Structure 1
Amino acid sequence: MEILRVLMFRLAAVFLCAQYCHGKTVTLDFNATWVNANPDGLHERKVVGINGQWPLPVIEVDKGDRLIVNMFNGLGDKHTSIHWHGMFQNGTNNMDGPSMVTQCPIAPGSSMTYNFTVPQNGTYWYHCHTDACYPDGYRQALIVHDNQSYFNDMYDHDLTITLSDWYHELIEDIPFIRVENPTGAEPVPNSFLFNDTLNTNIAVEAGKTYLMRLINIGAFVAQYFYIEDHTFRIVEIDGVYVDEQEADTLYIAAAQRYSILVTMKNSTTQNYPIVTVADSVLLDVIDPSLQLNQTNWLEYNSSAAHPQAVMKVDVASDLVPYDDLKLVPHDRMPLLPDPDMTIEVDVIMDNLANGAGYAFFNNISYTKPKVPTLYSVLSSGNYSTNSEIYGEFTHPFVLEHNQVIEVILNNQDTGSHPFHLHGHNFQMVSRTPSYGPNFYDFADGDPVAYNATENPSSSFPAYPARRDTFVAPPQGNFVVRFVADNPGVWLFHCHIDWHLMQGLAMSFVEAPKQIQEQMSLTDSQVNVCKAADVAYEGNAAGNTDDLLDLTGQNRQLPWLPAGFTTKGIVAMVFSCVSAFLGMAFITVYGISGIQSKKEETSQATEGNES
């Protein structure tokens, strides 16, 4: 009966989609180039601009539109791509954007056209998905308007607000994965931005209701959000409409989105602080000059004072955000039935042979293949259903079409992680602990793995919250479910970009036979690969003769020898450095001493001769 309900739900969604599939075509030409910017007023640096401008353009489309973006890489020294975060890309997996997953990276001087239909609704964003490039400014909002949303008549104006952390250096110039940082401590941002700037006034009209779309486009740090002396109603998370719920504080992790309805007061006598607070628990070291709390304003009256916020200090206790697990999807999609396939993974942060810190799912640190995984699907024929051809270190799972998939994630790390799944949103059916004062309860103790006896499926909600990015608590766990009804290669990864650099990702190869039926490699895609000097056929090692021969595949580094610890690594490094300096000093001193003796001998000989 449950399976029938789910199938009926999917069928209804297909019919609903059909109503919107005849929208207009929105065509944009993007030339990505370096420009200079100083968004926090503290440091000017080069950033990735579009058509000579930064911040990047907000893309706005209507549900059912076709979006075409002709992107030229004019950066000169960096590969790039665009990921349309939250877009399902049904039938257009090759438009998803992550390099070496669904496409080759776009080399300097090359171009690629992204072309797909948008049958979804809500708040999304777009960003570079090649190496670590979006924190250099290549990110912005993507808004899909929907005049048939259930709350369409409940607001007067629509606003988009982005939150982000900001670094004063290019990401590639910030030392991170190195032996001097064996614990993998993430680089601390230099500031936090609100709509890519600071000290912003949002002009509002008394008595009006505003739909505020909030997007964390940052690379690392989650932020708390509240408005002094105002409450709001949550109506959307990550493109999923939810029954309106009143709240006063949100926790918005990297890549997450919320839409809220905020009704203004009827008086114009004063302005009110909009407050964002960086989650300082995520930061290992906090420089005294770093401003964690930001004040921007709902401006009712430009002539009135713009007061600084009265800050809540302790993020672990004073700021209690609304628990997103309590949100009920407005479409009432029921709890998916018991899974056909369960994937259980442990999140681990550890060191490899070079002494640097890496991230792992079940001891595998994602290492990109030599051929984009989607292109391996398209060029492998009957071998496409064999996970071995995709390489051990892409951590691939082959999913059968329309299977119910359950992912059990046990976070053994003391930090929280926002996990994002491409091509889907997923039901959060269990999380321990949940948002609130107890969110950090396990951070100082032992990791707590999911226990099906203590949290059986019978205790799961009837209509679970659904979104594309959920947060795993420190040393806690979560359980999510989704239906493999979207053939494609989809990345599942932590959206803290530092952790993705460290390898905290795995790949789902979903319905490979259906992928081969839906698409084929085009000449333009081949040309992108050729320009980047990247193979576009064969297995993960680029082998086209024997697809089960993975000789030469990209591998993670070996593990450290048994017995090495973080302290031991640091001690060894500094001992080696000290020894090297000591030997260098002795050598220099010895050479200078020998030279002096030679000079003395020479002078004595000359004196005797005279």
Structure 2
Amino acid sequence: MIRTLLTLALYGLVQDTLAKDVYLDWNITWVTAAPDGYARPVIGINGQWPCPQIDVSVGDNLVVDVYNALGNQSTGIHWHGLHQNYNGYMDGAPGVTQCELRPHQRMRYVVPMNQTGTYWYHSHETGQYPDGLRGPIVVHDTVPLPFEYDEEITLTLTDWYHVQMPQLVSEFEAPSEYASVGGQEPLPDAVLFNDAFGTKIKVKPSTTYLIHVVCMGNWAGHALIIDDHDMTIVGADGIGIEPHFLTPQYIRMTVGQRLDILLTTKDDTSRNYPIWDGLDIDEMFKQENRSIPDGYNPNGTAWLTYDDSLPFPPMPDIHIGNASLDFLDDVTLQPRDRLPLIEPVDLQIILDTDATTLDGKPAYTINNMTYKTPNEPTLYTAIAADPETAMDPSIYGEVNPFVVNYGDVVEIVLNNHHTNLHPWHLHGHDFQIVQRTYPYGGFFNGYGNVSSHPMRRDTIMVEPKGHFVIRFRAMNPDNLQRSSTDQYIRIWMLHCHVEWHVEVRLMAIIIEAPDRLQNLTVPTDHQEICGGAPSHWAPLPPLY
């Protein structure tokens, strides 16, 4: 016990000593790029695209000054997977935790790095991140990890479009014969690795790499195969897991998910090896009774490169719908910290989701209600209300609000009545996956074989005509001690991460303990981008 306490004390001392502020100054601009040979406008940072990777250490504060120089679009930056402990107004979701950052406006994000692992940042405004405003975040630990590796690599997987998103969204939302099933999602024109085409990843022989894989796509799921190389998963969505050796070596990821993988290269350099990424087009099309156009290629190839002078072999044509591809069920992974199933459940929320039409256009419903963008961010509505009124869901408008008490164990049951797959992401938390069905597995009618130490993620795929059950504690953070007078900030989006579906309102808002928000200090620049502080706010000093 004494040794454990001493270890914890030394760990805290190391964290405090090494922690630092990491400052970034971002000018969000239009840039012309041609990742697959087709030139088009993309959204870059400081005149560059792809957008930069952020590397920080646990304990750091990431401070990012953002200026919107796009001229014709608003924006807002979400820090995907980072919990924003006591910091929820920095979550970057316009209409939820902030106003839109309009052209020629500036604001600052301060993001505490109190998690380790692989994350990413992206725009959370008007279908914007598929036009390029996205990048990986790697939060490095300051103590040795329970596995060994020599070097690190980041690998991002993305579907790519030649037409800009505003036009594609408009076409997707246009009334058509397909509107009853939620519109026809436009087909991607290419598959990119690290936002490039024909990517070559240089490796050394007999070297163990920790590969940070980030699925930054927009629609279909992705299947990753690295030819003739063993892979072991050691992390998922920032959660350390018991090493899981993959047999066969196929990985399936949905939009928004991340994996940390160990790969040891071969001891010779006699050839290069293809890396295959196949879009989940077969499954997506099958659910909507759509056929794949003749000649359409849903696959992309990169190469693990041992010797640039040697040939780069092609990948065989593989389709995810092929029954011979036996993919890992990520629900079966085991978290390294062995956190027990949290119980008992204080509040169960049942969400029945389905496709519909609204004014002749495709839309989605949650419990027969379609999300409607509020007049002011939901967080600001909660701040303005007195504690009793703040607990009333009706004051938040038609945003599918679900109000929960501080400290509640919340269970969300999501029944997918739609005939397609949907990746669901919860801001501000990772959650325990209590159960999930296979395709057409039916809707919730009780518990099956529940793990005593469930896997945790922040993004999970629900299968067609199936369901999932997840749990989390409405307590962000749930592992720190703070006084009862501290400010609690908990307004979190729960949404499908397919950008087409976000545009047609497949989302809800989890409002945690809004009765504790009334003394919240919102930074002045966050107020100013709203056009000045609302009349019910007193002047407030910035937090930094």
Q: Same fold (TM over 0.5)?
A: yes
Q: Write out per-residue CA displacement over residues 511-534 of structure 1, whole angstroms, 9 at most, x where no aligned residue.
A: 1133334x2233322211007xxx
Q: What aligned pairs does 1:121-200 form with structure 2 within 5 A after superposition?
A: 121-148=116-143, 150-151=145-146, 154-174=148-168, 175-180=171-176, 181-182=178-179, 183=181, 184-200=183-199
The verdict on how the C-alpha distance between 1:224 and 1:187 changes in structure 2, with shifts beyond 3 A counting, is same
Query: What CA RMSD, in Å, does the superposition of the two structures yield over aligned residues?
Result: 2.0
Q: Tell me, yes or no, if structure 1 residue 64 matches structure 2 residue 59.
A: yes
The verdict on how the C-alpha distance between 1:488 and 1:198 changes in structure 2, with shifts beyond 3 A counting, is same
Q: Write out per-residue CA displacement over residues 330-363 of structure 1, whole angstroms, 9 at most, x where no aligned residue.
A: 01111111210000011100112x2111111111
1:256 aligned partner: 257
Q: What aligned pairs does 1:99-118 form with structure 2 within 5 A after superposition?
A: 99-118=94-113
- Quote the offset at 1:301 in angstroms: 1.9
TM-score by length of 2: 0.89
Task: Pick the aligned partner of 1:409 from 410, 414, 418.
Answer: 414
Q: Name whichever structure is richer in helix by fraction.
A: 1
Task: Pick the aligned partner of 1:513 from 490, 512, 515.
Answer: 515
Q: Distance in 2 between matches of 1:178 and 1:359?
A: 15
Task: Pick the aligned partner of 1:422 from 424, 427, 430.
Answer: 427
Equivalent position SS for 1:211: strand
2:467 aligned partner: 477
Q: Distance in 2 between matches of 1:536 and 1:160?
A: 43
The verdict on how the C-alpha distance between 1:423 and 1:314 changes in structure 2, with shifts beyond 3 A counting, is closer
Task: Pick the aligned partner of 2:506 from 480, 504, 507.
Answer: 504
Q: Tell me, yes or no, if structure 1 residue 357 matches structure 2 residue 362.
A: yes
Q: What aligned pairs does 1:204-353 form with structure 2 within 5 A after superposition?
A: 204-247=203-246, 248-280=249-281, 281-283=283-285, 284-352=290-358
1:593 aligned partner: none
The verdict on how the C-alpha distance between 1:111 and 1:90 changes in structure 2, with shifts beyond 3 A counting, is same
- Quote the offset at 1:20 in angstroms: 3.2
Task: Pick the aligned partner of 1:464 from 454, 457, 464.
Answer: 454
- Quote the offset at 1:122 in angstroms: 0.3
2:527 aligned partner: 526
Q: Write out per-residue CA displacement over residues 201-243 of structure 1, whole angstroms, 9 at most, x where no aligned residue.
A: 1111111100111111111111100111112100000000000
- Quote the offset at 1:268 in angstroms: 1.4
2:77 aligned partner: 82
Q: Write out per-residue CA displacement over residues 115-172 of structure 1, whole angstroms, 9 at most, x where no aligned residue.
A: 12111000000000112111110011011111425345x1101000111111111111
1:47 aligned partner: 42
Do the aligned residues in 1 keep the contact of 2:279 with 2:320 (CA within 8 Å)?
no
- Quote the offset at 1:537 in angstroms: 6.5
Which runs of at least 4 in structure 1 moved beyond 6 Å after TM superposition? 12-19
Greater C-alpha radius of gyration: 1
- Higher mean Cα deviation, 262-271 or 492-501? 262-271
| Letter aligned with residue 366 of structure 2 | F
Q: Write out per-residue CA displacement over residues 461-498 of structure 1, whole angstroms, 9 at most, x where no aligned residue.
A: 01100010011011111100000012410000000011
Q: Distance in 1 between matches of 2:8 and 2:460?
A: 23
1:494 aligned partner: 496
Q: Distance in 2 between matches of 1:61 and 1:47?
A: 26
Q: Write out per-residue CA displacement over residues 43-63 of structure 1, whole angstroms, 9 at most, x where no aligned residue.
A: 211111111111011111011
Do the aligned residues in 2 keep the contact of 1:375 with 1:537 (CA within 8 Å)?
no
Do the aligned residues in 1 keep the contact of 2:278 with 2:320 (CA within 8 Å)?
no
Do the aligned residues in 2 keep the contact of 1:375 with 1:536 (CA within 8 Å)?
no
- Quote the offset at 1:14 in angstroms: 12
The verdict on how the C-alpha distance between 1:138 and 1:207 changes in structure 2, with shifts beyond 3 A counting, is same
1:96 aligned partner: 91
1:27 aligned partner: 23
Q: Write out per-residue CA displacement over residues 248-276 of structure 1, whole angstroms, 9 at most, x where no aligned residue.
A: 11111100000100011112111111111
Q: Distance in 2 between matches of 1:74 and 1:85?
A: 23
The verdict on how the C-alpha distance between 1:488 and 1:261 changes in structure 2, with shifts beyond 3 A counting, is same
TM-score by length of 1: 0.80
Do the aligned residues in 1 keep the contact of 2:385 with 2:518 (CA within 8 Å)?
no
Equivalent position SS for 2:72: coil
- Quote the offset at 1:21 in angstroms: 5.3
- Higher mean Cα deviation, 412-421 or 317-326? 317-326
Equivalent position SS for 1:530: coil
Calculate percent identity across the aligned residue pairs: 38
Q: Distance in 1 between matches of 2:324 and 2:269?
A: 29
Q: Tell me, yes or no, if structure 1 residue 374 matches structure 2 residue 379.
A: yes
Q: Distance in 1 between matches of 2:16 and 2:80?
A: 20
The verdict on how the C-alpha distance between 1:75 and 1:39 changes in structure 2, with shifts beyond 3 A counting, is same
Q: Distance in 1 between matches of 2:320 and 2:490?
A: 43
Q: Write out per-residue CA displacement over residues 88-132 of structure 1, whole angstroms, 9 at most, x where no aligned residue.
A: 001110100000100000010001100121110000000001121
Equivalent position SS for 1:40: coil
Q: Distance in 1 between matches of 2:79 and 2:197?
A: 26
| Letter aligned with residue 112 of structure 1 | M
Do the aligned residues in 1 keep the contact of 2:356 with 2:363 (CA within 8 Å)?
yes
Do the aligned residues in 2 keep the contact of 1:312 with 1:318 (CA within 8 Å)?
no
Q: Tell me, yes or no, if structure 1 residue 451 matches structure 2 residue 442.
A: no
Q: Write out per-residue CA displacement over residues 435-469 of structure 1, whole angstroms, 9 at most, x where no aligned residue.
A: xxxxx4x2xxxx710121xx35xx31011000100
The verdict on how the C-alpha distance between 1:471 and 1:314 changes in structure 2, with shifts beyond 3 A counting, is closer
Equivalent position SS for 2:29: strand
* Unpaired stretches in structure 1, ≥5 consecutive residues: 1-11, 434-439, 540-610
| Letter aligned with residue 137 of structure 2 | L
